[in-house]
Amino acid sequence: MSELRHLINITDLSVDEIDHLISIADDIIDNPEAYQEICRHKKLATLFFEPSTRTRLSFTAAMMELGGNVLGFDQAASSSTAKGESVSDTIVMASCYADIIAMRHPKEGAPFVAARHAGVPVINAGDGGHFHPTQTLTDLMTIHRKKGDLGNLTIGLCGDLKFGRTVHSLIEAMIRYKGIRFVMISPVELDLPSYVQEKLNAEGVEWKVVRNLEEAIPELDVLYMTRVQKERFFNEEDYIRLKDSFILRRRMLDSAKDDMIVMHPLPRVNEISVDVDDDPRAAYFYQALMGKYIRMALILFLLGIR
Ligand code: CP
């Protein structure tokens, strides 16, 4: 019997496996009819203890487009968690009803605990301020489709680099490719956590901090904007003071490379002005679409179907 695989952190996948997932997703885009019955009679449980639009709906759409079914809940309050059930018991239950589980939880490490108790593959759909590996796969798929290569890029990460789990996972993934440089653009209070900075230094990755977004833009191949994570702040005053630190406006793209892409995991609040949406460099809605295809590939991979 093959070993049960989970996706808790993006580093659970080798670079070769990520390349393989991307090639399956490319094939799904080119040949959707070949996949439309491939998960017939398979069930995905979406256990979302925290709000979500894209991740939950794209997982749901992914399983539906593979011909499978979806069950689950979209808030802890509508599950027996509200009556005091533990994560581990919830996961044992979900393993009885589904073939694969996608789980979002506000507590860092909860999906790791879930994976230890699950009888089926567990996918971390975001745990607190920690990791969001399927967003990272979405980001890699987007960069692959738009830039053609996952190496030799200067990537600007802008906004909440402290609490932004998508940023932490993206860094973990990108440092495994050649020729990656990072430009960190954040207020001092929202700098990258020291453990991520230490990792960058230990891996010998070139990175720098710039406090002015306009100053950073001309050298970037990818600008990855993020929202200030209101739900992670202990103090509302600090959130209000920091939330609009960086707002990307259309005129700021005048100094950008013609083929730079603007990414954002979404949801956005204020950090990208809507006048950027029509610019050909705006890739964030395309990115959300890519999330469905790469999650289709991931479901197939973890179920051992391809
Ligand atoms: N990018 C992302 O995780 O969005 P949701 O919170 O809407 O799932």
Q: How far apart are the first and last CA of the chain?
A: 16
pLDDT at 112 over 90: yes
CB distance 266 to 284 below 8 Å: yes
Architecture in CATH for domain 10-133+291-303: 3-Layer(aba) Sandwich (3.40)
Mean pLDDT for the stretch of residues 146-152: 96
pLDDT higher than 80, residue 114: yes
Query: Could you read off the pLDDT of 83-101 as tens digits, one per residue?
Result: 999 999 999 999 999 999 9
Q: Compute the distance between CA of residue 74 and CA of residue 46 in angstroms, rounded to an integer.
A: 8
Could you give the percent of the chain with pLDDT greater than 90?
86
Lay out the sheet containing 153-158: strands in order across: 206-209, 180-185, 153-158, 222-225, 261-263
Which residues face 183 on adjacent strands?
Answer: 156, 208
Instruction: Tell me whether domains 10-133+291-303 and 135-288 share a fold.
Output: yes
Domain range summary for the chain, segments of one domain joined by +? 10-133+291-303, 135-288
CATH number of the 135-288 domain: 3.40.50.1370
Asked whether the predicted pLDDT for residue 163 surpasses 90, the reply is no
Q: How far does residue 294's CA lie from ligand 1's centre (Å)? A: 15
- The span from the CA of 257 to the CA of 260, in Å, is 5
Confidence (pLDDT) at 130: 82
76: CA distance to ligand 1 center in Å? 17
Alpha carbon nearest to ligand 1 atom 4, residue: 54
- What pLDDT does residue 241 have? 80
Q: Which two tokens stand for residue 175?
A: 């440092």
User: Whole-angstrom Cα distance, residue 156 to residue 208?
Assistant: 10
Q: How much is the pLDDT for 244?
A: 80
Cα separations (Å) of 236 from 89, 161, 295? Answer: 34, 18, 35
How does residue 3 score in pLDDT terms, banded at 50, 70 and 90?
confident
C-beta of 164 in contact with ligand 1 (< 6 A) = no
How many Cα atoms sit within 13 Å of 60 on the Cβ side? 14
> Is residue 225 pLDDT above 90, yes or no?
yes
